[in-house]
Amino acid sequence: MRAVVYDRYGGPEVLRLDEVATPRVDGPDGAGRVLVRIHAASVNSWDRDNLQGAAINRLALGPLRPRVRILGGDISGVVEAVGPGVTRFRPGDEVFGDLSTSGWGAFAEYVAAPEAALTRKPAGLSHRDAAAMPQAAVLALQGIDDPGDVHGGSRVLINGAGGGLGSFAVQLAASRGAEVTGVDSAPKLDLLRELGAEHVLDYRAADFTRSDSRYDVVLDCELHRPITDGLRVLADGGRYTVVGGALTRILGAVLRGRRVSRSPSGQTVELLQHKPNHRLADLGDRAASGAIRPAIERVYSLDEVPLAMQRMCEGLVVGKAVIAAR
């Protein structure tokens, strides 16, 4: 099969399209696993960090060289074969899911994955739309829906709103009646308005942490400044949730959060803990019904994965970059 592989950490230039062995699930090692013929995958910031060998990612992938040769966590495709003990799926079923804790491997024509990492794809949802959802939409749901504190009248600010996660978070918050402010670069602001943001800010022209506005919830997808800056715009009793950003800033937010949560103002700071495939079926149904939609910038072929990764590394992707495997 064709797959995009890499053997050393670096930039998009270390990626190459190659022929590799198709995974098998018909032996003892295939117990509980499903072979999926991939129709589409998508690119996430986690793929960028794995490619570049960010310090925390090397703990899982290998300190000097990556043990996982094929990147990509999000897939949508069709079950080709099932291994011993698989009960939830059979050949021909359409599935999607996040493989980030199951060995990765989405930038290829086939992947073998645990059946627990897969969810049945709604018939009304295309493979390309489905592939755009698993990591980004689940994280957005965890940050907006799950806490139960976003509702009509809530003031919500999303920093990094023009990426995959942020574009879903804007829609989820708006659907709950919140007044949404989206922060990102100028080329992404029109998309944020389309998705339901009432207010948009170009971070290069305005510093949201210096605003006179106060927000009940801040979802920070790109924490690249001291958490104390962001807390200036958090209302009393408000929640500041960190999803991504610079490692040193994230660690600072964690340490700061222990103190803020005990403050008289009732503010809380938290680092979102990703739950792969959490309520993915629900999200798929919402997308199939049109209640939310993946914001897909462009569909790339397998041999264009380096280009998609380059745009991700440069922060140019508006919404999601999707990879078509066939």
CATH 3.90.180.10 residue ranges of the chain are 2-132+294-324
Task: Copy the structure tokens of residue 247.
Answer: 């490692």
CATH 3.40.50.720 residue ranges of the chain are 136-271
Q: Are 74 and 135 in contact (CB under 8 A)?
A: yes
Mean pLDDT score, 280-298: 98
Task: Copy the structure tokens of residue 11.
Answer: 């930039």
pLDDT for 323 beyond 60? yes
Strands 268-271 and 234-242: parallel
Mean pLDDT score, 110-132: 98
Q: What is the pLDDT of residue 310?
A: 97
pLDDT for 10 beyond 70? yes
Which three-class secondary structure string do you get for 151-194?
CCCCEEEEECCCEHHHHHHHHHHHHCCCEEEEEECHHHHHHHHH
Name the pTM for this structure: 0.94
The model's confidence at residue 41, banded by pLDDT at 50, 70 and 90, is: very high
Mean pLDDT score, 119-127: 97
pLDDT for 213 beyond 90? yes
Q: What is the pLDDT of residue 9?
A: 96
pLDDT for 182 beyond 80? yes
Task: Copy the structure tokens of residue 296.
Answer: 């897909």
Q: What is the pLDDT of residue 77?
A: 98
Q: Which of 295, 312, 275 is nearest to 197 (CA)?
A: 295
Q: What is the pLDDT of residue 249?
A: 66
> For the structural domain made of 2-132+294-324, what CATH number should be given?
3.90.180.10
How much of the chain, in percent, has pLDDT values that exceed 90?
Answer: 83
Strands 320-324 and 33-42: antiparallel
Q: What is the pLDDT of residue 256?
A: 58
Q: Are 66 and 21 in contact (CB under 8 A)?
A: no
Is residue 236 classed exposed, middle or buried when 0-12, 13-18 and 19+ CB atoms within 10 A define those classes? exposed
> For the structural domain made of 136-271, what CATH number should be given?
3.40.50.720
pLDDT for 86 beyond 90? yes
pLDDT for 71 beyond 60? yes
pLDDT for 83 beyond 80? yes
Q: What is the pLDDT of residue 186?
A: 97
Q: pLDDT (tens digit, 9 = 90+) per residue, 218-266?
A: 999 988 788 888 899 999 999 999 998 656 566 665 555 555 555 668 8
Q: What is the pLDDT of residue 60?
A: 79
Question: For residue 113, what are the β-bridge partners?
Answer: 34
Q: Whole-angstrom Cα distance, residue 149 to residue 154?
A: 8
Task: Copy the structure tokens of residue 274.
Answer: 């990703």
Give the orientation angle of helix 45-52 with respect to helix 305-313, to 10 degrees. 90
The model's confidence at residue 57, banded by pLDDT at 50, 70 and 90, is: confident
Q: What is the pLDDT of residue 225?
A: 82
Q: Are 104 and 250 in contact (CB under 8 A)?
A: no
Q: Whole-angstrom Cα distance, residue 280 to residue 277?
A: 5
Asked which of 62-76, 126-140, 170-184 is least confident by mean pLDDT, the reply is 62-76
Q: What is the pLDDT of residue 264?
A: 66
Q: Whole-angstrom Cα distance, residue 263 to residue 42?
A: 41
The model's confidence at residue 284, banded by pLDDT at 50, 70 and 90, is: very high
